[in-house]
Structure 1
Amino acid sequence: MTPVSEDRAALRARMRARRLELPARLQMAAAEALAERLRALPELADEGYVAGYWAVRGEISLHALLAPPPRFVYCLPCLAPGSTLRFAPWRFGDPLVANRHGIPEPDHSPAAQLAPSDLAAVLVPLVAFDASGTRLGTGGGYYDRSFAFLREQPRPMRPLLIGVAHDFQQVDALQAAPWDVPLDLVVTDARTVRCR
């Protein structure tokens, strides 16, 4: 674990650089190990909608989780008005379009997209995390705005927020911002951290 004495922007830059430095074979091995750990979670054993993400810029990939297909319906995020997220079911081979950040998302009309509250669980990308469930994201605030309703609720509740990361992305402690929505657990390529 890394002690945190740097500001959020510096920590983001350092962790992003470290992710990008991983050779492809280590990225693939980490994705396989992560998928095994996620498949073992009792929270993902049921049917329902589970959101993931399309890995970019060294984020740990979730593609290994989808083969063989899980019992749940896998969804990807779609940018929505107000800089929030909606979610749409996606399977290998389904069409994708690039959003304004160049990230692929399902080609579904807004009427066919799910609200954050419709999900059973969300596999949340992150740049850094601590054992208490504080997450440092990319800085856009999309997940915190979309799941802000969970800040006022007793946890855990649906949707369950599951951070996913390379194990080296854990730090000793992060200062939570007032808008941060804490994670319920974090799954890495090496372990599962139950935050609550």
Structure 2
Amino acid sequence: MREVSLHSVQQLHDKIALRHELRGKRGSMTAAERRKAELGAALQARRNGWLKPGKRIAAYIPVGSEFSSWPLMLLALKLGAEVYVPRVPKNGKQLEFVRLDQHTSWSAGAYGIPEPSHEKTCLPHRLDTVFLPLVGYDDQGFRLGQGGGYYDATFAFRRLRKYWLKPRLIGLGFECQKASHLPVDHWDLKLDAVLSG
């Protein structure tokens, strides 16, 4: 039987408490504040050159009070970028990225997230930029996710590289989700940037 350290238990407890606190802050934002930040993030992504024609980007289908990636995805499609959204696997933790366009069909998926279906998919290492959901983030570039570990597992190959290669990992979140310091485990990925509007 594997022994669980006191540090691991404390780390888990800290993450659970922080998720609860930050979700509360995120949920208390007004609709106008949310829209302003979400549109601002899409324009900032455009200015940074991440939504150019032919670029392969991935974003996510927002649920609940998550930062909406829809303005960013719609702008990317308008500009001619290829847009992909994740599909949660039935087994394992490796996300599959499915094309989002007029031919995408939808069904009910895991965790109540609409699941896309399309004949075209993209392997994680072939994406140019991935816009990730988050519950919290800090100045060191660490991200606190929902706790499922899907993004950390899917992009674990980035931790093994000596030199930077795509995809670029960009968090999407509101300013109120920023923490001074996040509890970090060895498998947690660092973001390249966060767009908060």
Q: Sort the TM-score into its range (normalised by shorter chain).
A: 0.7 to 0.9
TM value normalised by structure 2: 0.84
Larger radius of gyration: 2
The count of aligned residue pairs is 182
Q: Structure 1 residues 113, 164: closer, same or farther in 2, change over 3 A? A: same
**How large is the Cα RMSD of the aligned pairs?**
1.9
Distance in 2, matches of 1:143 and 1:123, equals 11
Does the CA contact (< 8 Å) of 1:164 and 1:188 recur in 2? yes
Task: State the percentage of identical aligned residues.
Answer: 34
Which runs of 5 or more residues in structure 1 are unaligned? 1-5, 190-196
TM value normalised by structure 1: 0.85
- 57-66 or 138-147: bigger deviation: 57-66
Q: Deviations over 1:12-54 (max 9, x none)?
A: 0111122122222222222111111111113443522100001
Does the CA contact (< 8 Å) of 1:124 and 1:162 recur in 2? yes
Q: 1:193 — aligned with what? A: none
1:84 match: secondary structure = coil
Does the CA contact (< 8 Å) of 2:61 and 2:114 recur in 1? yes
Higher helix share: 2
* 1:37-186 alignment, distance < 5 Å: 37-45=44-52, 47-65=54-72, 66-67=74-75, 69-80=78-89, 81-91=91-101, 94-108=104-118, 112-154=120-162, 156-186=164-194
Does the CA contact (< 8 Å) of 1:51 and 1:119 recur in 2? yes
1:179 match: secondary structure = coil
Q: 1:11 — aligned with what? A: 18
Which runs of 5 or more residues in structure 2 are unaligned? 1-12
Q: Structure 1 residues 121, 169: closer, same or farther in 2, change over 3 A? A: same
Residue identity matched to 2:158: L
Q: Deviations over 1:113-163 (max 9, x none)?
A: 222112111001111111111111000000000000001113532011111
